[in-house]
Amino acid sequence: MASDGFRPLDEKSLLEYLKATPVLAEKLGNQFEDLQIKEVGDGNLNFVYIVVGRSGSFVIKQALPYIRCIGESWPMTKERAYFEARTLREHRRVCPDQTPEVYHFDRAMCVIGMRYIEPPHIILRKGLIAGKEYPLLAEHMSDFMAKTLFFSSLLYLTTTEHKHAVAEFCGNVELCRLTEQVVFSDPYKVSQYNHWTSPYLDSDAEAVRQDNILKLEVAELKSKFCERTQALIHGDLHTGSIMVTSKSTQVIDPEFSFYGPMGFDVGAFIGNLILAYFAQDGHANEGNDRKEYKLWILKTIEETWNLFHKKFTALWDEHKDGPGEAYLPEIYNNAELHLLAKQKYMEDLFHDSLGFGAAKMIRRIVGVAHVEDFESIAEPEKRANCERQALTFAKLLLKERRRFKSIGEVVSAIQQPKP
């Protein structure tokens, strides 16, 4: 055991750990004979064990001091587990329906014990690849984003509470730096980690690195990411951080959380839906041309923003005489001004979301970490064609985001034939 009390768990030591941890042992009815323990960490960063006993189940997630998918050559603070547990609990407080419960957190061991999000839940990204519709997805995700972002912003918090929380989450700087590198930097320069569907996209990747206007816009977004402490954001809200059934939506993995720009979360979700849209032609086959499914994705994108807008501003209305110090009631509570303030705030947030969403799309095509939506298209030329369409749209969206007045206009632009 290291001097800081940390040791990586394996299946055997995990069992001992469970026996020695009352809150977890009790979940299992203190029955350890026929436990099922399965390592399922298919993510990039951590060990994840599913533990199922006769009287209960949970997931054990352990952060390691490096990035699992790259190995010990890319060290990464295991303190991220602290911020993940901290944010899960905060999300659970303000949005219990879309957040799994945390049963146990062990800071020294970087171990989180939390709800096992049982089958038929699957990762949303896998559902999108399979062409499955989730009728409540927009409803649930707009709810999650409206609540988690509103309640951690100065629309609801005092500046004392806000600065206190900002200071704490500054501690998650290493994870922020990883985002800075893989989202805002690497795709725009030559980097050993970048890859793309070669040779088809060689000139596209080169064009990204040569595009001054694109890079100027990316600098502005990066500055917002690094400097704007607007709300406690999830920080990695793509379709791989969401588990779904037709009735349930659960948001997991907020280890990148910190006080940043709200648009980074909204954009991550919408941008990844747009990626899923452009991947559909690669998944079409004789049995299913995916045309209807593509329309469902577009409808979900449109509903997500519109419902988010509605719910977020409804929270603002509801709490306009509350503790938040951004718009003091004595100054801003006249009907016309309150409306103007909301319009301005939401317009800025909309354009931020489009910008961040586009940046997250680009990095998934020419950066280090790709998405299964495209990677699962076996034929490289077909995959490259899908990716090129997504990349072309993302560049347009990033550069022209301020001219979009509604999500409907964005959805129309997605459907325009790409040159």
Binding site for a copy of itself (CB under 8 A): 154, 159-160, 162-164, 166-168, 170-171, 173-174, 176-177, 180, 185, 188-190, 212, 215-216, 219-220, 222-223, 226-230, 325-328, 330-332, 334, 336-337, 340-341, 344
Shortest distance in whole angstroms from residue 51 CB to a copy of itself = 35
For a copy of itself, the closer of residues 295 and 339 by Cβ is 339
For a copy of itself, the closer of residues 28 and 165 by Cβ is 165
For a copy of itself, the closer of residues 116 and 256 by Cβ is 256
Task: Write down the residue that tokens 């999300």 correspond to.
Answer: 91
For a copy of itself, the closer of residues 58 and 259 by Cβ is 259
How far is it, in rounded angstroms, from Cα 134 to Cα 239? 13
For a copy of itself, the closer of residues 32 and 193 by Cβ is 193
Strand ranges for 54-162 from DSSP E: 57-63, 66-67, 71-75, 102-106, 111-114, 122-123
For a copy of itself, the closer of residues 153 and 249 by Cβ is 153
Shortest distance in whole angstroms from residue 177 CB to a copy of itself = 6
**CA nearest to 256, candidates 75, 44, 87:** 87
Shortest distance in whole angstroms from residue 228 CB to a copy of itself = 5
Shortest distance in whole angstroms from residue 152 CB to a copy of itself = 12
How far is it, in rounded angstroms, from Cα 189 to Cα 210? 9
Shortest distance in whole angstroms from residue 261 CB to a copy of itself = 9
> Rg of the Cα trace of the chain?
22
Q: Determine the distance from the C-alpha atom of residue 44 to the mean position of all C-alpha atoms in its chain, rounded to a whole number.
A: 14
Alpha carbon dihedral 213, 399, 185, 69, in 10-degree steps, equals -150
**CA nearest to 139, candidates 151, 131, 147:** 147
* Number of Cβ atoms within 10 Å of the Cβ of 169: 22
How far is it, in rounded angstroms, from Cα 332 to Cα 335? 8
How far is it, in rounded angstroms, from Cα 28 to Cα 54? 7
Distances (CA, A) of 192 to 126, 187, 195, 196, 370: 28, 11, 8, 12, 15
For a copy of itself, the closer of residues 34 and 227 by Cβ is 227
For a copy of itself, the closer of residues 258 and 296 by Cβ is 258
For a copy of itself, the closer of residues 176 and 362 by Cβ is 176
DSSP lists the bridge partners of residue 62 as: 47, 111
Report whether the peptide linkage leading into residue 199 is cis, meaning its omega lies within 30 degrees of zero: yes
For a copy of itself, the closer of residues 174 and 321 by Cβ is 174
Shortest distance in whole angstroms from residue 169 CB to a copy of itself = 9
Shortest distance in whole angstroms from residue 215 CB to a copy of itself = 6
Shortest distance in whole angstroms from residue 347 CB to a copy of itself = 12
DSSP run (H or E) holding 352: helix 335-366
Distances (CA, A) of 28 to 12, 34, 35, 40, 418: 16, 11, 9, 20, 55
**CA nearest to 235, candidates 257, 262, 260:** 257
Shortest distance in whole angstroms from residue 328 CB to a copy of itself = 6
**Residue 44 corresponds to which amino acid?**
N
Shortest distance in whole angstroms from residue 207 CB to a copy of itself = 14
